[in-house]
């Protein structure tokens, strides 16, 4: 099933229940129940690795930004968690008549690949490069993502800037060396002081080091490049994530699931409009030990990473996180 088909199913399901605020899981259960034939192939491909409802709800959540932009009558309720989607029957929603069952099936069978308008040479000359647009978009995501890491996961973090690198490797030479954001999870930072002191003296791991590679969107054409960039840049960390606002295409999400399972990288879905609604859709597999040789390679090249490690060392020596040394710790 294409992402376009999924969008039609979700939109039609919500319009038939105008005013009802439904979670991605509730919507997934509903559309699977209404259209079981549509999901038979997906269920077979999953081969029991995860429940079908779980997979479809992940796809709805991962594609919600595209769904909202293509369907202006659908809104998001963020007053409760998890967020809920609904058609506002009382507001300024676009007037839309829900389709009948046969109409939906016919429409889905007729859906073709969307073709963009032709691009002229003049338009290409005027347009900023895709790399520049992606870079600007990524920069806009750092602050909300770091606030989510701190507010929801108690991970303090630092931005690793390309400008802080030595650039001895030339242009883009550090693309496969360091991630965009690094973090530290200190399990005892909110504990009673006496408990924290005891925990620091016992021979247990006192902090977990986190790596996050940030992208605006993941598509079928770039998923492998971006994913293995995240793998390469996170060899040193206890836990690693690739984070994005949007996943385009069902095949992209399926490949991401496969790659994450193979390499232990997690996927974090960013909601830039409401950072507290960001979610870890695929958990990361934790490594017991930090690869200090890989960490040293980054520290040799980047001053921000050395500052990050100094902050980690301060915590390990004192037992205090020192919030003021980290980025975007306002909730």
CATH 1.10.10 domain extents, the chain: 3-110
pTM for this model (two decimals): 0.68
CA 36 from centre of chain: 28
Going from the C-alpha of 14 to that of each of 72, 96, 118, 171, 190, the distances in angstroms are: 12, 11, 33, 48, 41
pLDDT digits (tens, 9 = 90+) for 303-313: 999 999 999 99
3-state secondary structure of 47: coil
Residues near 329 by Cβ (< 8 Å), separated by ≥ 6?
A: 150, 156, 323
DSSP character at residue 91? T
CATH number, domain 3-110, options 1.10.10, 1.10.40, 3.30.70, 3.10.450 = 1.10.10
pLDDT digits (tens, 9 = 90+) for 3-36: 668 888 999 999 999 889 999 999 999 999 998 8
Helix residue ranges per DSSP H, 160-302: 193-201, 223-233, 250-263, 292-301
**Are 59 and 250 a contacting pair, CB within 8 Å?**
yes
Q: Where are the beta strands (DSSP E) in 64-204?
A: 74-77, 84-87, 155-159, 181-185
Interaxial angle between packed helices 101-110 and 3-15, expressed in degrees from 0 to 180 and rounded to the nearest 10: 160
3-state secondary structure of 150: helix
Predicted pLDDT at 194? 77
pLDDT digits (tens, 9 = 90+) for 88-105: 766 544 434 444 555 445
Predicted pLDDT at 204? 58
Q: 44-53: buried (b, 16+ CB within 10 Å) or exposed (e) per residue?
A: eebeeeeebb
Predicted pLDDT at 98? 47
**Are 314 and 308 a contacting pair, CB within 8 Å?**
no
**Are 111 and 5 a contacting pair, CB within 8 Å?**
yes
pLDDT digits (tens, 9 = 90+) for 267-301: 999 988 888 888 899 999 999 999 999 999 999 99
Q: Tokens for 315? A: 């915590």
Residues near 91 by Cβ (< 8 Å), separated by ≥ 6?
A: 75
Tell me the backbone φ, ψ of residue 78, rounded to 5 degrees: -105, 10
Residues of the chain with pLDDT under 70: 1-4, 89-136, 167-176, 188-190, 200-205, 331
């Amino acid at each position: 099933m294409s992402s376009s088909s999924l969008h039609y199913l979700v939109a039609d399901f919500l319009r038939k229940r105008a005013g009802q605020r439904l979670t991605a899981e509730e919507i997934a259960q509903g559309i699977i129940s209404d259209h079981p034939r549509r999901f038979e192939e997906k269920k077979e491909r999953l081969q029991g690795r995860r429940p079908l409802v779980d997979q479809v709800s992940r796809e709805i959540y991962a594609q919600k930004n595209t769904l909202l932009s293509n369907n202006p009558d659908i809104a998001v309720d963020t007053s409760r968690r998890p967020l809920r989607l609904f058609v506002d029957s009382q507001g300024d929603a676009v007037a839309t008549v829900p389709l009948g069952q046969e109409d939906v099936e016919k429409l889905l069978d007729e859906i073709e690949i969307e073709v963009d308008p032709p691009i002229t040479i003049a338009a290409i000359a005027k347009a900023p490069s895709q790399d520049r647009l992606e870079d600007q978009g990524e920069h806009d995501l750092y602050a909300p993502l770091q606030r989510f890491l701190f507010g929801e996961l108690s991970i303090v973090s630092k931005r690793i800037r390309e400008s802080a690198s030595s650039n001895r490797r030339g242009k883009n030479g550090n693309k496969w060396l360091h991630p965009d954001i690094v973090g530290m999870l200190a399990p005892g930072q909110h504990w009673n002081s006496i408990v924290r002191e005891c925990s620091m003296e016992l021979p247990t791991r006192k902090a977990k080091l986190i790596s996050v590679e940030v992208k605006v969107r993941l598509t079928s054409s770039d998923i492998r490049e971006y994913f293995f960039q995240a793998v390469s840049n996170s060899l040193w960390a206890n836990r690693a994530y690739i984070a994005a606002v949007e996943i385009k295409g069902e095949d992209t999400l399926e490949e991401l699931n496969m790659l994450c399972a193979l390499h232990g990288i997690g996927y974090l879905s960013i909601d830039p409009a409401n950072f507290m609604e960001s979610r870890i859709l695929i958990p990361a597999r934790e490594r017991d030990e930090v690869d200090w040789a890989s960490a040293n390679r980054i520290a040799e090249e980047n001053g921000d990473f050395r500052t990050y490690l100094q902050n980690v060392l301060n915590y390990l020596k004192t037992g205090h996180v020192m919030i003021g040394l980290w980025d975007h710790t306002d909730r």
